[in-house]
Amino acid sequence: MSIVKTENLHKKYPEPGKKKEFFYAVNGTSLSIEAGEIYGILGPNGAGKTTTLEMMEGLTDIDEGDAWVDGISVKQEPYKVKKIIGVQLQANEYFDHLNLSELIALFSQLYNRHDDPLDLLDHVNLKEKAQAKPKELSGGQQQRFSIACALVHEPKVLFLDEPTTGLDPQAKRNIWELVKNLNNKGMTIVLTTHNMEEAEYLCNRLAIMDHGKIIAEGKPQDLILSHAPEPPQAPLHGNLEDVFLALTGTGLRE
């Protein structure tokens, strides 16, 4: 059963330096994401994946089309949608004078909840940092805390926007294991990434985007077998990076 669905999503912006001309950051995106899966949107910078995610979340207005979360229209009832989703952004700002425990308590109160902050911090392996300020955390710890903040109201769907960008290998793996653990407990997770290894390791299914359009969709291994040329001396098949190169004709744009 689909818990997240988009139909013909479009988002346009003014063309820089050209009056009355526009370009489409997202150009007709339609997706159907099943409850309980990890679904990835893979693409280079500028492909439209973050804009697509933001429209699903109700953070960016939808110009054309619509998106639904658990049957609720994002376009018509955005506040209802926000009550049942968790959102981890690429960058976050917090009250500098509050520690992690106090911040979790504050976010919980916004949802009329009174859970023990230490329980949620323990869930993301940050219990020992309960008295620390966000600026005192490492990059990986900051990302885990950002996810903790997105979980305070026990959302049905968790959205993650490039959750491991800029992290060292160990911190990246810690985030991956956290995402897997959340999913194993039944949470639907939608993430964007341009990390091939991340997409292959985490995602049950994924869409590959380029120039605002979805150019392929499926299970990672199915995409590999369908699109990746066999690399030299490889006994079986290529990998997701081969899929990406075969479909877009270019490497990832940093």
What is the reported pLDDT for 64? 97
Same domain, 192 and 205: yes
Q: Give the Cβ contact number of residue 233 at 10 Å.
A: 5
State the average pLDDT over residues 158-180: 92
Q: Is the pLDDT of residue 24 over 60?
A: yes
Same domain, 73 and 112: no
pLDDT band at 47 (very low <50, low <70, confident <90, very high): very high
Closest CA to 164 of 177, 173, 151: 173
- d(CA 152, CA 137) in angstroms, rounded, equals 20
Q: Give the Cβ contact number of residue 22 at 10 Å.
A: 11
Same domain, 112 and 228: no
What is the reported pLDDT for 253? 45
Same domain, 90 and 79: no
Is position 176 within any domain? Answer: no
Domain containing residue 101 = 86-154
What is the reported pLDDT for 254? 39
| CATH number, position 27 | 3.40.50.300
Q: Tens of pLDDT along 192-248? A: 998 889 999 999 999 999 999 999 999 999 998 888 766 655 555 677 777 777 787
